[in-house]
Structures are given as C-alpha cells and as structure tokens.
Structure 1
Amino acid sequence: MSSNDDQDDLKPSATPGYKPTGTAKTADEYAQLDAEDESLARWKASLGITAGVSTGDTSGPRVTVLTLELDSPTLPPGKTLVFDLNDSAKLADTKKNPIIIKEGVEYNVRITFKVNHSIISGVRYIQLVKRAGIKVDKLEQMLGSYGPQAEPYTKNFDVEESPSGLVARSGSYNVRSRVVDDDGEVYADWEWSFKLAKEW
C-alpha cells in the first residue's frame, strides 16, 4: 500500500513541549479535573465539557471523518468536489478515475468531522501528493482540539492555488490523506487521485 517513507511523511510534526499522555480521558473525567479553576472551567465549557453531562457510548472511534471537500469560486454552478469517507466504493473509484482540478485557480479544502465521546487534541490533516512515485507536495493543517458534540465540526483550510502549465497537466497525481492527532492515533486514512486540466 505505501512505503516506509510514506509512513514517515504522514506522521504529524512534533508540537514543542507536548508529551503524549498515553491514556485518553472521557469528557466527564476532564470536567472533574481542576473543577475549582474558573479560567480552566471557561475553556472546558468552550469545548463542550461540563460536569454531569454524559457523552454517551464511549465505544467506537473518538473521531469520525465525514467529508473532505475542495471548493473554488471558479467551480461551475452545481459542481461539487466532495469525498464522502463513508462511501468506500466511490473513494476506490477516485483512485482509478482521478478527479479533474482546473489549473491555476484558487481553491480551499474543507473537512467535516464528528467528535463522538472524548476530548481530542492536536488533531491534524496531512496530505502527501506524489506523481510517478515521487513526492511533489505535502500539506499539514492543524485542525485543533475539540470536545464531543452531536453536531459535526467543519474546518476550512487556507486558500491555495493549483499548479499550472503543460508539465503540471501531464499525468495524474496520487494523494494519501490522513487525519491524526499528536499521540499518533489515526482517525482516517485514504487515497485518491487528481489530474490538472484547463477546465473543471
């Protein structure tokens, strides 16, 4: 599936001063910690962590990545570029039939995910792009820290510009995407392909 070099490239950057805890706590356990500290209580409340609020079933994944979307003001009306991570057949098809991205346009990536039952911290999206087996780009975007809630979170990445020119348009690009936290826990890992063209 991938080489050891890929595994190294898909590891998150080290956060200075961060030491992995090794054991995850539930939201209720975090709510009880340092309960008398008012500023900490306000920060925990901003993450949806309050004492006595049950986070429900603690089995299953802490994070469920729902979609990855590429958005651009130049997209024709009605056209969307959305990867539904729950549709494995469609994801597998994008490896064989690359999506088309217009060259030289501004676009941004948007990710939607659900935090199920535990606090998550230092979560990142990592994207490794190769062409003909050679790494041509790597993106690492911090998603942040979140508490569990019923509604999904959406994170918009910074605007980027797609490459352009004859060389950029020749061949397809293979992408490996991963959502991982500072502790190295992988929440999603998938592959897809794209081609650059003069039009969408």
Structure 2
Amino acid sequence: MEPGSSSGGSSARGVVSDQGREEKQKEMREKLSEVCGVGEEEEEEDDDKSNGIASGFVPGPLVSLKEQIDKDKDDESLRRWKEKLLGCLENDLNGQMEPEVKFHSIGIISDDFEEISTPLPVDENQIDRVLFTLKEGSRYQLKLTFSVLHNIVSGLTYSNTVWKGGLQVDQSKGMLGTFAPNKEPYVHTLEEETTPSGLLARGIYSAKLKFEDDDRRSHMELQYAFEIKKTVS
C-alpha cells in the first residue's frame, strides 16, 4: 500500500460523513423551518389552490417533535444543532403527535373606533350576540390571538362566510402560514375588508369563521354576528 492511501480513504469517509450530516440538517430545516420564530406566512400563488393548499396535495406523515429531536441522537453535531433550534420548546416535548391551536381572542380593528377584543371561546348562549358594529363603507380587519401546542401546525388556513337574511353574501379565504409551538401567543391580522354601503347593506349579519390545516384538521369554528350602520357613535 502506498503511503498516504490510508489517509486518502479516511478523508473520503470524512467527506461522505459531512455530506450525510448536511443532508440530515437540510431535511430538518425543511421540517422545522421557523420553529422558534414567528409563523411563516404563505401566499396563494394562483386560483387553482383551495384555501391556499395545492389541489391534490398530500401531507407527509406526522412526526412528534420529541421523535424528531431523538432521531440521530448519536450524532453529536446534529444533537447540538437540534437543541439550539428547538431550545424554546423544551416544555412541550410530551410526545403528542397532533398539533393543537388554541385561540385566545378575536378583535376588530377600524379607523372608526378603538380596537374591540372578545375572549374565545364564545359561550353558546352568546353566539347570536353582535360582537361589533361597523360603519357602512368603512375598512376593517379581524385580529386573532392564538397559541400552538405539541407540534408544528402546517398550512393553517381560514375561511370566513357571511350571511344576511339567510342568504350568503360574502366568503373570504386565506393562508395564515405554518407555526410551531411557542412560549408567546401569535398575533395575526387578516386581510383588510371594506363593508358595503347603502340602505340595503345596513343591518345585522351572521358569520362563521373556520380554521383548518394541511391535514384538513379543524382547529376552530366560530359563529358570530356583526352589524353595519350608517354611522357609528
């Protein structure tokens, strides 16, 4: 054996080992991107997507955060990397597979009045109660405060359907994004809407707000009511 041949083989094995580690880290980044930061907001790319999710999309198998951390635990470099990435989640590594989204409040933001916030969940006997009153032709946004528990929730979407006098008059859908468990609640504001104006637009409306993830798992269905008036005092 020529001098240096053994060193060359060792070097080659080192390259292969480094490549394997990089591939594993890349895989973890894809699964756990933005784990300890804010939610990753995603936008709809075209009209062929329903609720921001591509038609025919099949999500991968659900893996608990604990299992993701324990995987490759014999690799010291990967172990330290995962601990750094997931350090903010040490209190939520109970092995539970399915993520849970817990909504704390829904608010309304408008230039016509100070922000109004309603704690969630709403009591059943208050479902038909008017949560807020808007001026016709005014702009407003819904503001949500929520927490994510146990696992990453992927592709969280919303749909808001509005009725007046039993007839559906509006429906909006959108993508909130992908969120990981976090110590602090997330605060997310939906897209700005404009209320209709005119005599026929005034009155009380009923609405249903729904939230689902990539697995079509329902995280909340909220029925509420609001009113549109000519003026708001």
Please report the TM-score for the alignment, with normalisation by the length of structure 2: 0.64
Higher relative contact order (Cα pairs below 8 Å, separated by 6+ residues): 1
1:71 and 2:109 are equivalent in the alignment: yes
**Taking structure 1 as reference, are residues 56 and 33 closer, same or farther at Cα in structure 2, changes over 3 Å only?**
closer
What is the letter of the counterpart of residue 162 of structure 1?
A: T
Contact 1:67-1:111 within 8 A present in 2 as well: yes
Contact 1:129-1:176 within 8 A present in 2 as well: yes
Corresponding residue for residue 8 of structure 1: none
Q: How many residues align?
A: 178
RMSD, matched Cα: 3.3
Bigger Rg, structure 1 or 2: 2
Which ranges of structure 1 fall in alignment gaps of 5 or more residues? 1-10, 37-41
Give secondary structure in 2 for the equivalent of 1:167.
helix
**Taking structure 1 as reference, are residues 33 and 178 closer, same or farther at Cα in structure 2, changes over 3 Å only?**
farther
Give secondary structure in 2 for the equivalent of 1:80.
strand
What is the letter of the counterpart of residue 168 of structure 1?
A: A
In the TM superposition, residue 94 of structure 1 has moved relative to its aligned partner by 4.8
After the TM superposition, which of the residue ranges 23-32 and 185-194 deviates more from structure 2? 23-32
Q: What is the alpha-carbon distance in structure 2 between the residues aligned to residue 72 and residue 187 of structure 1?
A: 26
Q: What is the alpha-carbon distance in structure 2 between the residues aligned to residue 51 and residue 34 of structure 1?
A: 20
Contact 1:179-1:188 within 8 A present in 2 as well: yes
Contact 2:62-2:97 within 8 A present in 1 as well: no
Corresponding residue for residue 130 of structure 1: 163
What is the letter of the counterpart of residue 80 of structure 1?
A: E
Q: What is the alpha-carbon distance in structure 1 between the residues aligned to residue 55 and residue 215 of structure 2?
A: 13
Corresponding residue for residue 148 of structure 2: 115
User: What is the correspondence of 1:3-152 to structure 2 with a 5 Å cutoff?
Assistant: 12=51, 14-16=53-55, 18-21=57-60, 23-31=61-69, 49=86, 53-57=90-94, 58=96, 62-75=100-113, 79-88=114-123, 92-97=125-130, 99-152=132-185
**Taking structure 1 as reference, are residues 74 and 113 closer, same or farther at Cα in structure 2, changes over 3 Å only?**
same
In the TM superposition, residue 93 of structure 1 has moved relative to its aligned partner by 2.3
Q: What is the alpha-carbon distance in structure 2 between the residues aligned to residue 141 and residue 45 of structure 1?
A: 33
Contact 1:31-1:50 within 8 A present in 2 as well: no
Corresponding residue for residue 195 of structure 1: 227
Contact 2:52-2:175 within 8 A present in 1 as well: no
Which ranges of structure 2 fall in alignment gaps of 5 or more residues? 1-49, 76-80
Contact 2:88-2:183 within 8 A present in 1 as well: no
Corresponding residue for residue 187 of structure 2: 154
Corresponding residue for residue 165 of structure 1: 198
Q: What is the alpha-carbon distance in structure 2 between the residues aligned to residue 64 and residue 195 of structure 1?
A: 27
**Taking structure 1 as reference, are residues 28 and 59 closer, same or farther at Cα in structure 2, changes over 3 Å only?**
closer
Q: What is the alpha-carbon distance in structure 1 between the residues aligned to residue 139 and residue 83 of structure 2?
A: 36
Give secondary structure in 2 for the equivalent of 1:172.
strand
Contact 1:113-1:152 within 8 A present in 2 as well: yes
Instruction: Decide which structure has greater helix share.
Output: 2
In the TM superposition, residue 197 of structure 1 has moved relative to its aligned partner by 0.4
Q: What is the alpha-carbon distance in structure 2 between the residues aligned to residue 107 and residue 55 of structure 1?
A: 35
Percent identity of paired positions between Structure 1 and Structure 2: 26
